[in-house]
């Protein structure tokens, strides 16, 4: 896989949390593509602009889902839309 853009659904401002690790690691290891943090309230995640729902972002090649179990179905549905 060589995605040009990755959404992190459930991204966290705290880099050590499950939703923060993908953002931190992609940046640390030099991912050259676009990272789209998705968080319902935060506007900035680790220095990157965040969107409240995936549908508000430009299309992405891959999504990493880091949300509680109750929110997984909606997150996956957002990926399909």
How far is Cα 16 from Cα 25, in angstroms, rounded to an integer?
Answer: 10
CATH 3.40.50.720 fits 5-80, yes or no: yes
Q: What angle do CA 81, 40, 9 make, to 5 degrees?
A: 55
Q: Which two tokens stand for residue 46?
A: 């680790």
Q: Give me the pLDDT at residue 56, please.
A: 81
pLDDT tens-digit readout, 16-75: 999 999 999 999 999 999 999 999 999 999 999 999 998 888 899 999 999 999 999 999
Q: Give me the pLDDT at residue 18, please.
A: 97
Q: Give me the pLDDT at residue 20, please.
A: 98
Quick check: 46 and 20 in contact, CB under 8 A?
yes
Q: Where are the domains of the chain?
A: 5-80
Q: Is the pTM of this model over 0.95?
A: no
pLDDT at residue 81 tops 80: no
pLDDT at residue 8 tops 80: yes
Alpha helices, DSSP H, located in 1-81? 21-28, 72-80
Secondary structure of 35-59 as H, E, C letters: EEEECCCCCEECCEECECCHHHCCC
């Amino acid at each position: 896989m060589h995605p040009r853009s990755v959404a992190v659904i459930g991204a966290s401002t705290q880099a050590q949390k499950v939703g923060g690790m993908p953002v931190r690691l992609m940046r640390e290891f030099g991912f050259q593509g676009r990272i789209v943090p998705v968080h319902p309230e935060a506007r900035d995640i680790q220095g990157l602009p965040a969107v409240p729902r995936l549908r508000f972002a430009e299309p992405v090649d891959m999504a990493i889902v880091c949300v509680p179990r109750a929110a997984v179905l909606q997150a996956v549905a957002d990926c399909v839309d």
